[in-house]
Structure 1
Amino acid sequence: MLFDMDGTLVDSEKLWDVALQELAREYGGELSEDGRRSITGTSMAESMRILHDDLGQPERDAEISAAWINARILELFRTGLRWQPGAFALLGAVRAAGIPTALVTSSGRALVEIALDTLGRDNFDAVVCGDEVVAAKPHPEPYLTAARLLDVPIERCVAIEDSATGVASALASGAAVLAVPETPLPDTAGVHQVESLTGVDLDVLAGLLADRAGATG
């Protein structure tokens, strides 16, 4: 099992909203809704590029902005991290069944270490962070790396994602994909969408792998 973090396991996107809008206001602007949607699931460098372009300030230094965001989001994660509906129960069921599990996130290691205090370090056999891969999502490298670390063929993995960027990464890797988007994504072959993880169980996950095998067999 391959789990995305932000917006999938934990309701952290609202915290990112706070930090991004605060920085936008520091720069004398407001981040648009389209800009925020484009940022979801991207690497920090890409997020800052989108933010600067959205504000009409492409000349700003991405490293300075990223440092500001990282400092603020670390503060917010320490006090405001909450599970997404159904995520705690599903992760518990997966672990109780002894299924190898990885966390695959675009967030950096420093932030993930704080999140693991909520998620539980023992719940993951491997953790792949956005600042520990050469190519971030939507490139398939994060998910391929996770499958390699688990020593499980990617074709036998289910990836759970919430963003279009993350879904593209998981789909390109060859994993079966379960999407839990805030707003519905375009219908895509190989991607099963649900409104929340509430009610998703091991049978549902097994069915995704069976459907994938049938489609490629």
Structure 2
Amino acid sequence: MTSERRLPAAVLWDMDGTLVDTEPYWMATENEIAEAHGATWTHEDAMTLVGNDLLTSGAYIKAKLGLAQSAEEVVEMLLDGVVAQVHHAVPWRPGGRELLLALHDAGVPCALVTMSYQRLVAPILEHLPPETFRVIVTGDMVDNGKPHPEAYLTAAAALGVEPAECIAIEDSPTGATSAEEAGCRVLVVPNHVPVDQGPRRVFRTSLEDVTPAELGSLV
């Protein structure tokens, strides 16, 4: 097999902003929480939270809005709003679902590595064939969220592959750092926030027309 046709050992997918563009759902819910409590929430606040561990976001919102609720309770408020919107419509990112299914057809194992919790992941997976993701790592399964590498290390170990043989697909600085620190090669498709260059990062403007073989050439 030529190097051009080599496939990655596995592909590890971020979800929010990468596979599905749920970031506007999060931002709308953040605004709703602020308005319900008579507080101000800015676009800059929203951008600060992109890619974060949810408890980190919950603590930020609690402090920023002066909420009586705990960070954990704020996270559940966020999830209530976003899950309701996902049930109404799943906003796939351009090329994301197509690449995911192509990898599945090519026999490349995929893992979902997201800081969202299982109850948000579940309604999205309903729109994919069974076993599209062989491993799912969610934010409520790890002790250390992104940008810590634990989530990506956990996914690679569960698949039985070395992180260096994997491609991670990310859209945020925190996610790219997490995957890079785990040892993965990272395909970065920036969405709502800019992402700096890094030693193990390759950039694309979209996942449209990206093939499994092209991912293999990045390893």
For the criterion TM > 0.5, the same-fold answer is: yes
Equivalent AA in structure 1 for residue 211 of structure 2: D
1:32–1:54 contact (8 Å) kept in structure 2: no
Matched residue SS, 1:123: coil
Equivalent AA in structure 2 for residue 181 of structure 1: P
Measured after TM superposition, the shift of residue 54 of structure 1 is 3.4
2:186–2:202 contact (8 Å) kept in structure 1: yes
Aligned residue for 1:72?
81
Residue 154 of structure 2, aligned match among 142, 145, 169: 145
Matched residue SS, 1:84: coil
Aligned residue for 1:4?
14
Q: Aligned partners of 2:202 and 2:29: how far apart in 1?
A: 31
Structure 2: segments with no counterpart, 5+ residues: 1-10
Measured after TM superposition, the shift of residue 50 of structure 1 is 1.9
Aligned residue for 2:95?
86
Q: Measured at CA, do residues 85 and 192 of structure 1 come closer, stay the same or move farther in structure 2, by a change above 3 Å?
A: same
Equivalent AA in structure 1 for residue 133 of structure 2: F
Aligned residue for 1:163?
172
Which one has more relative contact order, counting CA pairs under 8 Å at least 6 apart? 2
Aligned residues: 208
Normalised by the length of structure 1, the TM-score is 0.90
Q: Aligned partners of 1:43 and 1:58: how far apart in 2?
A: 19
Q: Aligned partners of 2:144 and 2:37: how far apart in 1?
A: 29
Measured after TM superposition, the shift of residue 82 of structure 1 is 1.8
Measured after TM superposition, the shift of residue 171 of structure 1 is 0.4
Equivalent AA in structure 1 for residue 169 of structure 2: I
Residue 216 of structure 2, aligned match among 206, 212, 216: 206
User: What is the CA deviation profile of residues 92-134 of structure 1, one whole-angstrom value per residue up to 9, with x for unaligned ones?
Assistant: 1111110111011000111111121124442111100110011
Matched residue SS, 2:151: helix
Normalised by the length of structure 2, the TM-score is 0.89
Matched residue SS, 1:113: helix
Aligned residue for 1:133?
142
Q: Measured at CA, do residues 119 and 105 of structure 1 come closer, stay the same or move farther in structure 2, by a change above 3 Å?
A: farther
Matched residue SS, 1:118: coil
2:147–2:175 contact (8 Å) kept in structure 1: yes
1:45 lines up with 2:55 in the alignment: yes
Q: Aligned partners of 1:60 and 1:179: how far apart in 2?
A: 35
Measured after TM superposition, the shift of residue 73 of structure 1 is 1.7
Would you tell me which structure has more helix in proportion to its own residues?
1
Measured after TM superposition, the shift of residue 58 of structure 1 is 6.8
User: What is the CA deviation profile of residues 11-63 of structure 1, one whole-angstrom value per residue up to 9, with x for unaligned ones?
Assistant: 111111111111111121232222111111112210112223333x2765212
Aligned residue for 2:45?
35
Equivalent AA in structure 2 for residue 128 of structure 1: V
Q: Aligned partners of 1:58 and 1:18: how far apart in 2?
A: 18
Q: Aligned partners of 1:178 and 1:53: how far apart in 2?
A: 34
Structure 1: segments with no counterpart, 5+ residues: 210-217
After superposition, residues 114-129 of structure 1 pair within 5 angstroms as 114-129=123-138
Q: Aligned partners of 1:102 and 1:120: how far apart in 2?
A: 14
User: What is the alpha-carbon root mean square deviation over aligned residues?
Assistant: 1.5
1:177–1:191 contact (8 Å) kept in structure 2: yes
1:21 lines up with 2:28 in the alignment: no
2:170–2:176 contact (8 Å) kept in structure 1: yes
Q: Aligned partners of 2:129 and 2:22: how far apart in 1?
A: 16
Q: Aligned partners of 1:119 and 1:96: how far apart in 2?
A: 13
User: Structure 1: which 4+ aligned runs deviate by more than 4 Å?
Assistant: none
Matched residue SS, 1:147: helix
1:107–1:129 contact (8 Å) kept in structure 2: yes
